[in-house]
């Protein structure tokens, strides 16, 4: 039927979301837009003070918000975000994997730890957060996982080779 098709617009109002990398840029904009459309949020990033500023803006919009400050490569931080969604918001409907890091420089001059750190944040942490979130999402209302990518995952540029590889 027309009302059950994939083309139907997703209802955000009443949704419960986790947005990673929410302290700035795309993640911050996504969190604010979800709140404007009526979602309650768990926002996560490394910078506590920026998350607090964002949480204030979200509360002004009349939405509930929980802050989880920390590095998503830490399993405890990922679990804290999921616990916040379940305990404070009553569940999870939307997971936005936005957190990411980049490093500028020549690949041949880079320390191997740089590549590992980029992949830990940009790939493994979002995979493991998604894996841990699946049981919670399955209990949600029309659950969805949104992974924020980059054109650099398709067309690499000089001096951002590790970031481009992780986004691919």
Active site residues: 163
Cα separation, 166 vs 168, whole angstroms: 5
CA 9 to chain centre: 21
* Gap between the Cα atoms of 37 and 76, Å rounded: 29
| 7-18 burial code (b ≥16 CB/10 A, e <16) | eeeeebeebbbb
Which two tokens mark 132?
């841990």
């Amino acid at each position: 039927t027309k009302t059950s098709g994939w083309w139907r617009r997703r209802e955000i109002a009443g949704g419960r979301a986790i947005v990673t990398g929410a302290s700035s840029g795309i993640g911050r904009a996504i969190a604010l837009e979800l709140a404007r459309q009526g979602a309650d949020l768990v926002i996560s990033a490394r910078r506590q003070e920026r998350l607090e500023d964002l949480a204030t803006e979200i509360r002004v919009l009349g939405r509930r918000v929980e802050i989880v400050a920390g590095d998503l490569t830490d399993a405890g931080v990922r679990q804290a975000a999921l616990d916040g969604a379940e305990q404070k918001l009553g569940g999870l409907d939307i997971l936005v994997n936005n957190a990411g890091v980049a490093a500028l420089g020549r690949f041949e001059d880079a320390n191997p730890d740089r590549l590992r750190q980029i992949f830990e944040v940009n790939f493994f942490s979002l995979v493991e957060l998604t894996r841990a979130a699946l049981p919670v999402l399955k209990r949600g209302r029309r659950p969805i996982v949104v992974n924020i990518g980059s054109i650099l995952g398709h067309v690499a540029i000089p001096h951002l080779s590790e970031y481009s590889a992780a986004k691919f």
